[in-house]
Structure 1
């Protein structure tokens, strides 16, 4: 067993993700524990591709779209959203491995069977606590994605649902977006 699988007594830290040798790609840090990603189903990959390409088309010039990069939310929290929208000035170069929560405008999680609890409960709690203003959760409903849209309520510090989108995602925040979700069939 690799030595890096054994956590230190106080748990792993956000910095450890950049220092641990032979760490598998897309490893996240949640509550001081490493979360290793399982192989993803075709739906997961297609949903990420659909959202990433559409968000790139609609994002204003001061924002950038990234996929599968971590956000350092605290000493023991460094989740990896499937898609992120970040401020353009937060891009530091090709060696960058993470973003700060204040640079993130939107995080998107595509739910997989192995990540249901994390994507539906724990990660939204962490993102909201860090002040990320927008969160979307994507789930599979028959053959198409369903997008659950949330916005941070500044009074409570928690996300509130602002819509559930089937077949078409049309919103005005964080910017004007209009995505035909059935396009997933053509990817």
Structure 2
């Protein structure tokens, strides 16, 4: 069905018109001229707002720390999508997946069954997507670990969640200011006050 889907472009705006029933996860790879970092939530395309300096600095801090701390068999993924369902393909800021989940240089998404950790740095708008919608969907898809990162006076605060197998929802595992220190999914010790250091 999806191979035969047709796309219509409005010549005056060049924005894509959704088909009846909305878009499907695989459509993200076929739609022409999508802006970078487009996500699919409930069959609707979601376009990213420009990122803030805090977002960029925090993303760099966490990515570099995870690259250093993660076991060799895990791969750190930055700003790629994960397919949660036929109508949901969000883009966490960071993910951890087994190295075996990599399929090659043209890969554009990871299966949610392979995602060990998803990290969202909360954007200025709309915050409810990063705080409520995406975590609920990550939990429903079985992603075991989720970190939500918020800004407080220029420093990151990390809210850590673990999947509760009984409820299939996230349970709070801690709120971390200044230092993120965890034992799962592997030993983590990150100085959050280093967000503005250059090296």
TM-score, scaled relative to structure 2: 0.92
- Partner residue, 2:66: 55
Q: Which runs of 4+ in 1 moved over 2 A?
A: none
Superposed, which structure 2 residues align to 1:122-137 within 5 Å?
122-137=133-148
Match of 1:2 among 11, 14, 26: 14
Partner of 1:160: 171
How far the C-alpha of 1:115 sits from its partner, in A, is 3.2
Secondary structure, counterpart of 2:125 in structure 1: helix
**Matches of residues 35-184 of structure 1 in structure 2 within 5 Å?**
35-184=46-195
Q: Deviations over 1:9-38 (max 9, x none)?
A: 110000110000000110000000000001
Hey, what's the Cα distance between the residues in 1 that align with 2:128 and 2:14?
27
Show structure 2 runs of 5+ residues with no match. 1-12
Q: Which has the higher contact order (CA 8 A, sep 6+)?
A: 1
Q: How many residues align?
A: 186
1:27 aligns with 2:41: no
Give the Å deviation of 1:3.
Answer: 4.6
1-structure distance, mates of 2:15, 2:64: 38
The whole-number CA distance in structure 2 between the counterparts of 1:56 and 1:92 is: 20
Q: TM-score scaled by structure 1?
A: 0.98
1:113, CA displacement in angstroms? Answer: 1.1
- Alpha carbons of structure 1 residues 7 and 56: separation in structure 2 relative to 1, 3 Å: same
What SS does the aligned partner of 2:159 have? strand
Cα-to-partner distance string for 1:107-134 (whole Å, 9 max, x where unaligned): 0000011131100000001000000000
Distance 1:177 1:117 in 2: 27
CA distance in 1, matches of 2:49, 2:37: 10
Q: Which residue in the other structure is 2:29 paired with?
A: 18
In structure 2, the residue corresponding to 1:15 is in which secondary structure? helix
Q: Following the alignment from structure 1 to structure 2, what is the Cα–Cα distance between the partners of residues 54 and 150?
A: 19
RMSD: 0.7
